Chain A
Amino acid sequence: AQSVTQLDSQVPVFEEAPVELRCNYSSSVSVYLFWYVQYPNQGLQLLLKYLSGSTLVKGINGFEAEFNKSQTSFHLRKPSVHISDTAEYFCAVSENSGYALNFGKGTSLLVTP
């Protein structure tokens, strides 16, 4: 069975500072990894995904994530955040690249001036 752990429930950060949102997973098989973002009163939007190939994945809005198989991690990073990045961020894992996503509990990113 898979599980996803997002170690931080809330991450406060100042505008233009770098940020890292942590995600660890466990699975007995190869997995596909995703980060989704949820802005207030909106649905989940795909930020980036790792299916195979390069372990450094670039997504939308300047975010990137690195798949580390030995550490079973898929941390999300951005070198300089904006106020508009304030949102809930969800890490998810799947044994298929599509359905039955298993989500983490989410990390609330709060960017302040």
Chain B
Amino acid sequence: EPEVTQTPSHQVTQMGQEVILRCVPISNHLYFYWYRQILGQKVEFLVSFYNNEISEKSEIFDDQFSVERPDGSNFTLKIRSTKLEDSAMYFCASSEDHNSPLHFGNGTRLTVT
């Protein structure tokens, strides 16, 4: 069964550094998403992306965050200047269309020191 893949599985970075989290969605899916889960808290929606533009974003997704689909297969989340509170598990997801359920990757654990 096709799956969403995320790399790396664990990323450690220093506060103030830029970090890029990478995702390869399922190939025929058209909608892409990022969610995050701070340790001990609920999974939170960050952003959805369709047709090469952001379709919806949450209050968490401020100017420090950006997303990009640089080619036909990758979907990236960039955090420009990481803060300690950005430490979390970041999940990428994709769906075939906006009526289809989301398929999630295994996540990237980001640790900001």
**Interface range on chain B: under 10, 10 to 19, 20 to 34, or 35 or more?**
20 to 34
One digit per residue, 1 when the CB lies within 8 angstroms of any chain A CB and 0 when it does not, for chain B 3-23 equals: 010100000000000000000
- The number of inter-chain residue pairs (CB within 8 angstroms) is 66
Interface residues on A, range: 20 to 34
Query: Quick check: A44 and B104 within 8 Å, CB to CB?
Result: yes
**B76 interface hit (Cβ, 8 Å):** no
30 contacts between A and B (CB under 8 A): A36-B104, A41-B106, A42-B106, A43-B4, A43-B104, A43-B105, A43-B107, A44-B43, A44-B91, A46-B103, A49-B101, A96-B99, A97-B99, A98-B97, A98-B98, A98-B102, A99-B48, A99-B98, A99-B102, A100-B45, A100-B48, A100-B56, A101-B35, A101-B43, A103-B35, A103-B42, A103-B43, A104-B42, A105-B41, A106-B43
